[in-house]
Structure 1
Amino acid sequence: MKKLGILALALLAQASFAQTNRFVYQVTSKPDINNKSDIKTENAYLDISAEKSMFYSENRIKRDSIMKANFQSGGGRGFNREQMDGLRTNINYSIEKNKKDQKIIYKDRLGRDQYSYEEDRPLNWKILSETTKIGDYKVQKAETDFGGRKWTAWFTTDLPYQDGPYKFNGLPGLVVKAEDSTGDYSFDLMKNYKISDFPEMRTFGNVMKVKRTDYLKQQERFKTDPMSFLNSQRGGGGISPPRSQGGGGNQFSPEVRKRIEDGVKDEIKKSSNPIELK
């Protein structure tokens, strides 16, 4: 009986350790370089387990949940357009950090397909002596230059994690706040709680594993000529718009082409101030 009791305690401790901790960050951004008064604010999750962490938009998971429910019902219910529009996100990417090999995997969607690359630039932090308190946490200041921006972060050792939002890691604690020197982007820890496991992330289209430099080239192609880029993604996932029935069967119909092109160009214009400038 004594051995059974010890085993039960060990299993309980293991189950407790296996839980995933969710940290909710408020992400503030000014994505339009020509309209800095257009400030976007939304929540993002940093889920941390013993093996890895994931950073992604709260709205993405909510939209995925609605789409999953609709598909499971046979698509008959349709989407509530107002509800889906209210769940738009400026955080279209997700970032996974693997604890064992210290790899950072960035995933984002270009057109119909999802592109994935391994981050190849280290974050070189300068840890300063300045300390303060943010919320319940005693924090210490650190600085780094990354992606063409100068970042200031405040990290705490009050929590047993060496992680942070976005690609931030490598500090001896959890990043509670991070902000770039221009005030265009900031991440602020709001709260945390335990969840049973990482949520399922819906993936549409093909998953293209590329080098970071190749991803940047594809991203530039998409921005320069979005329709040509979309037409080149043959066999991509998702629902394809109607195409013309003439000799150019690979082409979008003129009406759809113009609508998609205008929409994509408008989105690109509104995203002219990305979090990484280089």
Structure 2
Amino acid sequence: MKKISLLLLAFATQMVFAQANRFVYQVTMKIDSTDKATSKTEIANLDISAGNSIFYGENRMKRDSIMSRMRQTGSFNFNRDQMQALRSNIDYTISKDYKTGKKLYTSRIQRDQYAYEEDRPMDWKILPETAKIGEYKTQKAETNFAGRTWFAWFTTEIPIQDGPYKFSGLPGLIVKVEDDKGDYSFDLKESKKIDAIANMEQRGSVITVKRAAFEKQQEQFRKDPTAGLTSGGRGGMRIQMDPTQRKQMEDRQKEEMKKNNNPIELK
């Protein structure tokens, strides 16, 4: 009976997502653990086709679009205030392959693009509590992932086992998910048909590593934010800096990191 139910769900999913769909989430983040009264809000998209999905920040897509146009035209004049306004805490993409179950996390550390396959299972406990969220009837579920306890509300009215960020595996789309401390939340705000899922531009080669190696590289960057610029990273480009410039950049980036001390994944 369980196999039949899964087959029916898979068939319904193919019917619903015969064309691409975009689910728009509002992401609320408290990135500074010393200032829980302040939160940042961004919009992120979950684009879904019949066999895969991609989750990404809207600001990231807008920045990439601007940079792509500048490279095509050869004109690198841009509005610094506009680009600053498009800075994002969702500066990563997460691709999911429905056939294999693989989740690929891709992010930039300085000038290098890294990707790793998520290797931790997401085990859900479905709870009896239900709620009406927007137009959807939802049911609550709980999981522990990456050092946080998460509560999700999913709807079987959209028969797809996916959701924002790395969340997936429930018998319906995740409409809302938040951690028990109220530091992070993802809330579905809109859904619409699209011609095709987003094709996020990746400049240069992507370095595929294990998750532990990515986290080690990220930690090294936090300790010395300018190392990749002055050494050239794996791309080989080296930026010459005098000691004063290096110190100013290092101080600025370390100050930003000091306020960005409450990551979505704690371990």
Give the TM-score normalised by structure 2.
0.89
Q: How big is the shift at 1:75?
A: 1.3
Counterpart in the other structure of 1:33 = 33
**Is the alpha carbon distance of 1:155 and 1:226 closer, same or farther for their aligned partners in structure 2, counting shifts above 3 Å?**
same
Q: Is the 8 A contact 1:95 1:106 kept in 2?
A: yes
Look at both structures and tell me which one has the larger radius of gyration over its CA atoms: 1
Unaligned runs of 5+ in 1: 1-13, 244-251
Other-structure match for 2:221: 222
Distance 2:137 2:123 in 1: 22
Residue-by-residue CA offset, 1:61-112 (whole Å, 9 max, x unaligned): 1111111222222115x11112112212110111000011000001111111
Q: Structure 1 CA distance, aligned partners of 2:17 and 2:213?
A: 39
> Could you list the per-position Cα deviations for residues 137-191 of structure 1 after superposition, in whole angstroms to 9, with x for gaps in the alignment?
0000000000100000000000121100000001001000001010000000000
Give the match for residue 256 of structure 1: 245
- Letter aligned with residue 144 of structure 2: D
Aligned to 1:177: 176
Q: Distance in 2 between matches of 1:232 and 1:141?
A: 49
Moved over 6 A (4+): none
Which letter does structure 1 place at the counterpart of 2:74? Answer: G
Is contact 1:113-1:204 (8 Å) kept? no
What's the secondary structure of 2:264's corresponding residue? coil
1:70 aligned residue: 70
> Retained in 2: the 8 A contact 1:221–1:229?
no
1:157 touches 1:173 (CA, 8 Å); kept in 2? yes
Query: Given the alignment of the two structures, is residue 268 of structure 1 paired with residue 257 of structure 2, yes or no?
Result: yes
Instruction: Return the alpha-carbon distance in structure 1 between the equivalents of residues 114 and 91 of structure 2.
Output: 12
**Cross-structure match for 1:112:** 111
Task: State the one-letter code of the partner of 1:276.
Answer: E
Task: Report matched runs for 1:61-210 at 5 Å.
Answer: 61-75=61-75, 78-210=77-209
Question: For the Cα contact (< 8 Å) 1:112–1:204, is it kept in 2?
Answer: no
Q: 2:54: which partner in 1? A: 54
**Is the CA contact (8 Å cut-off) linking 1:179 and 1:186 kept in structure 2?**
yes
How far apart are the structure 1 equivalents of 2:229 and 2:260? 19
Measure how far apart 1:225 and its partner are: 1.9
Secondary structure at the residue paired with 1:261? helix
State the secondary structure of the residue aligned to 1:105: strand
d(CA) in 1 for partners of 2:210 and 2:85? 34
> How many residues are paired up?
254
Unaligned runs of 5+ residues in structure 2 are 1-13
Whole-angstrom distance in 1 between the partners of 2:155 and 2:17: 21
Using structure 1 for the length normalisation, give the TM-score: 0.86
**Alignment root-mean-square deviation, CA:** 2.0
Partners of 2:55 and 2:179 lie apart in 1 by 18
1:69 alignment partner, SS class: helix
